[in-house]
Amino acid sequence: MPIDLIIFDCDGVLVDSEVISCRAHADVLTRHGYPITSEQVFARFLGRSTKQANLEIETELGRKLPEAYHGDLQDDLFRSFEADLEAIRGIHDVLDVVTQAVCVASSGSHQRMRVSLGRTGLYERLAPNIFSASQVKNGKPAPDLFLFAASQMGVPPEHCVVIEDSLAGIAGARAAGMTVFGFYGGSHCRDGYAETLRQAGADLLFADMHQLPALVRRVEADAVAG
């Protein structure tokens, strides 16, 4: 079973953004009448689309979030990205050497990825093969986004490897019939997070992006041997 496509999540896999993002979401939600900590944002919403998170929050509030919330969140998030965001260590090196096609499948919006990937020099390396949950009916943990990305790239699901750092992403990749690697090298990953990803169904785990090419070769070799 050759691996013909590597599908990367964006936040926490390509860019080390999750701590920044959770902090911004917590600050802005609290200002707009929904007190929450960055730790709670991490636990509840990591890997899920903003649309899904907002629907859940609005159900609890019994009202729509104010229009100003959306603009304030974008402003805070993008300002923080421009000041502090960095690429995941080793990702540029990996993109230099992998022989498979690559693409991005993220719960984030295209606008957000233009900022985050652009800030870290990754946008021009990965465009136009950048796909967002806004392009499908159901975001992660549904398989829709991964299946859409594979279809756009012309690769069957069984020939894809997904790189994910969230439980929702791992669930979505498994539902899509794809091999999924759990990445726990982002600054948001606490002690024990690798085990959390394993229990969620990740086929392999790694914390150093430089390991990825060898892990892909290992999956291909195991498939041949099996």
- pLDDT band at residue 46 under the 50/70/90 scheme: confident
- pLDDT band at residue 159 under the 50/70/90 scheme: very high
Which segments of the chain are extended strands (E)? 5-8, 101-106, 130-132, 160-164, 179-183, 204-206
Q: 104 by DSSP, 3-state: which?
A: strand
Amino acid 97 reads: V
9 is catalytic: yes
94 pLDDT above the threshold of 70? yes
Distance between CA atoms of 160 and 77, rounded to whole angstroms? 31
Amino acid 184 reads: Y
- pLDDT band at residue 13 under the 50/70/90 scheme: very high
Of 4, 9, 11, 27, which residue is the catalytic one? 9
Residues 128, 135: contact at Cβ < 8 Å?
no
pLDDT for position 48: 81
Distance between CA atoms of 126 and 6, rounded to whole angstroms? 12
pLDDT for position 226: 63
The full set of domains in the chain, from first to last, is 5-17+86-225 (3.40.50.1000), 18-84 (1.10.150.240)
What mean pLDDT value characterizes the chain?
Answer: 95
pLDDT for position 142: 96
Residue 54: which residues within 8 A CB-CB, separation 6 or more? 65
Percent of the chain beyond pLDDT 90? Answer: 90
183-206 average pLDDT score: 95
State which H helix or E strand residue 112 sits in: helix 110-119
pLDDT for position 190: 86
Between 225 and 205, the more confident residue is 205
Residues 185, 154: contact at Cβ < 8 Å?
no
32 pLDDT above the threshold of 80? yes
Between 67 and 6, the more confident residue is 6
Sheet holding 204-206, edge to edge: 130-132, 101-106, 5-8, 160-164, 179-183, 204-206
pLDDT for position 170: 97
pLDDT for position 49: 79
pLDDT for position 47: 77
128 pLDDT above the threshold of 70? yes
pLDDT for position 144: 98
pLDDT for position 168: 93
51 pLDDT above the threshold of 90? no
Which of these, 150, 116, 149, lies nearest to 133 by C-alpha position?
A: 149
pLDDT for position 1: 74
